[in-house]
């Protein structure tokens, strides 16, 4: 299939796999650790990166490759690497560029797991993160001048649902010749394709909407192929790598330098690939992504309006609401829907929030978003509980914040469940 020719809906259904005569219509689960070759020279060429092919499933696998090709096509990128989780995708997206002694820049409203990865674990690896407020041009410029080698932000943040002004961020990054990496988990490529607005690298937790059925933890990194690593002085991508007999990634792989290095260096050495079985299930979910994202967004807008009109609700954040400070940005970047996540605050603070969550019936209390079933979570006592009060505030999380992930159920049923829970609190 020539993915570039087709619309997103067609790629969701058919992308990444073109069976030949009498082959399986559905990409099989190639549950094999390894692949057989006829000559040692052929395997040697794979090791030297002179030939392409699968050799060992820690590095690549045919079922995983189908998912990688499909998501690369959906994002409009030229290559992708699937990982064991969204955390791995974000980790490797950074390590491919930065090493001990380097600084990176990140928006402070990141998902709790990513925030801790950057502020604590990467710090132990010798990589320092400069956190800056979202959409703050001056802070970004200052952080770049202080040595930040890349800027990382979420297109629609988890859980505060704030919208990144992508074009503005890309303009500043490119003025100073650094790459912009965007975690596009919440919109998915169906609602937003960050490369169209100048982003260089996109990551996803495929665990969320792309799988959509809450079966498989996974992640992916997609490369636009547009950033010029060599010209902009990213020596770890252009210098000769002794681990591959002195090969230079930019010289050998040209615009695919970054995504090749991510796989053959970091997935190979750290060992966090997606499993073929998870790739199969994730691909099954992805086939209906475009239908689900529309329904998630329509449902969430209805529920956000209901919450906004409820007397026991203190505030509601949903970028599709006209009252949202992000409404203008959402009209630009999220034209086809603002995805399924709402954050809101209940009057009465922490205790009322917990009681309300515990009173839900249909909507389940789970640590998850993006499932086709609706769910609720209290970030301050769950996903973000390791953050200090100050970090919580910067992350846009209040003590009474509730994160609702609206599924594709009937909205009258969902609203009844919400109403009944409100009746249980003072």
Ligand X SMILES: *Cc1c(COP(=O)(O)O)cnc(C)c1O
Binding positions for ligand X, rule: CB under 6 A: 85-87, 90, 111, 113-114, 154, 158, 183, 185, 205, 207-208, 217, 219
Q: CB under 8 Å to 77, separation ≥6 — which residues?
A: 195, 202, 222, 223, 224, 225
Q: For ligand X, give the closer residue by CB, 217 or 301.
A: 217
Contact indicator for 374, 364 with CB cutoff of 8 Å: yes
Q: For ligand X, give the closer residue by CB, 86 or 257.
A: 86
CB of residue 187 vs ligand X: minimum separation in angstroms? 10
CB of residue 18 vs ligand X: minimum separation in angstroms? 29
Q: What share of the chain is helix, strand, coil (3-state, %, to 5)?
A: 45, 15, 40
CB of residue 158 vs ligand X: minimum separation in angstroms? 4
Lateral strand order in the sheet of 103-107 = 79-83, 219-223, 201-205, 180-183, 148-154, 103-107, 128-132
With tokens 């990213």, the residue in question is 234
CA distance 264 to 243: 10
CB of residue 377 vs ligand X: minimum separation in angstroms? 11
CA distance 118 to 95: 11
User: Which residues is 79 bridged to in the sheet?
Assistant: 223
Contact indicator for 302, 145 with CB cutoff of 8 Å: no
CB of residue 383 vs ligand X: minimum separation in angstroms? 9
CB of residue 155 vs ligand X: minimum separation in angstroms? 9
- Tokens of residue 143, six digits: 């952080």
Q: Cα 151 to chain center, whole Å?
A: 15
- Tokens of residue 32, six digits: 């094999």
CB of residue 324 vs ligand X: minimum separation in angstroms? 19
CA distance 165 to 220: 22
Q: For ligand X, give the closer residue by CB, 158 or 250.
A: 158
CB-CB neighbours of 282 under 10 Å: 27
Nearest residue relative to ligand X (C-beta): 86
Q: For ligand X, give the closer residue by CB, 82 or 144.
A: 82
CB of residue 88 vs ligand X: minimum separation in angstroms? 7
Q: For ligand X, give the closer residue by CB, 111 or 344.
A: 111
Angle at 129 between CA 127 and CA 132, to 5 degrees: 170
Q: For ligand X, give the closer residue by CB, 90 or 353.
A: 90
What's phi and psi for 19, nearest 5 deg? -65, 140
CB of residue 224 vs ligand X: minimum separation in angstroms? 19
Q: For ligand X, give the closer residue by CB, 96 or 158.
A: 158
Give first-to-last CA distance, the chain, whole Å: 58
Q: Coil, helix or strand for 301?
A: helix
Instruction: Name which of 13, 317, 68 is nearest 202 in CA terms.
Output: 68
DSSP type of residue 251? H
Q: For ligand X, give the closer residue by CB, 339 or 400.
A: 339
Instruction: Name which of 301, 320, 319, 378 is nearest 345 in CA terms.
Output: 378
CB of residue 188 vs ligand X: minimum separation in angstroms? 11
CA distance 374 to 51: 46
Q: For ligand X, give the closer residue by CB, 265 or 369.
A: 369
Q: For ligand X, give the closer residue by CB, 15 or 218.
A: 218
Residues in the chain, overall count: 426
What's phi and psi for 169, nearest 5 deg? -60, -40
- Tokens of residue 124, six digits: 């132990």
CB of residue 348 vs ligand X: minimum separation in angstroms? 27
């Amino acid at each position: 299939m020539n993915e570039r020719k087709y619309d997103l809906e067609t790629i969701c259904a058919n992308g990444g796999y073109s069976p030949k005569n009498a082959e399986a219509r559905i990409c099989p689960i190639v549950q094999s650790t390894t692949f057989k070759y006829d000559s040692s020279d052929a395997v040697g060429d794979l090791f030297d990166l002179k030939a392409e092919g699968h050799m060992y499933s820690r590095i690549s696998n045919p079922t995983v490759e189908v998912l990688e090709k499909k998501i690369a096509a959906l994002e409009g990128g030229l290559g992708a690497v699937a990982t064991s989780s969204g955390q791995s995708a974000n980790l490797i997206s950074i390590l491919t560029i930065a090493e001990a002694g380097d600084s990176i820049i990140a928006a402070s409203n990141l998902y709790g797991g990513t925030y801790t990865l950057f502020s604590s674990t990467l710090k132990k690896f010798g990589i320092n993160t400069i956190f800056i407020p979202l959409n703050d041009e001056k802070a970004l410029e200052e952080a770049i001048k202080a040595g930040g080698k890349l800027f990382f932000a979420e297109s629609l943040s988890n859980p505060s649902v704030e919208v990144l002004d992508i074009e503005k961020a890309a303009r500043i990054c490119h003025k100073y010749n650094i790459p912009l990496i965007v975690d596009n988990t919440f919109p998915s490529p169906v609602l937003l394709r960050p490369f169209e607005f100048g982003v260089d690298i996109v990551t996803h937790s495929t665990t969320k909407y792309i799988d959509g059925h809450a079966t498989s933890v996974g992640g992916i990194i997609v490369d636009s192929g547009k950033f010029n690593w060599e010209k902009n002085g990213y020596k770890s991508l252009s210098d000769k790598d002794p681990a591959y007999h002195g090969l230079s990634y930019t010289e050998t792989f040209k615009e695919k330098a970054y995504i090749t290095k991510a796989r053959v260096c970091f997935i190979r050495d750290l060992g966090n690939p997606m499993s073929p079985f998870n790739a199969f299930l994730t691909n099954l979910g992805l086939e209906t992504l475009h239908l689900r994202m529309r329904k998630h967004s329509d449902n969430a807008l209805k529920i956000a309006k209901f919450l906004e009109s409820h007397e026991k609700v203190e505030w509601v954040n949903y970028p599709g609401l006209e009252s949202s400070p992000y409404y203008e940005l959402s009209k630009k970047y999220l034209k086809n829907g603002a995805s399924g996540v709402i954050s809101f605050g209940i009057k009465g603070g922490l205790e009322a929030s917990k009681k309300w969550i515990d009173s839900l019936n249909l909507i389940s209390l789970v640590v998850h978003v993006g499932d086709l079933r609706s769910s609720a979570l209290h970030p301050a006592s769950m996903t973000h509980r390791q953050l200090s009060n100050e970090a919580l505030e910067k992350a846009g999380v209040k003590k009474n914040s509730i994160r609702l992930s609206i599924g594709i159920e009937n909205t009258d049923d969902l609203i009844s469940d919400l109403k009944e829970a409100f009746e249980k609190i003072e």
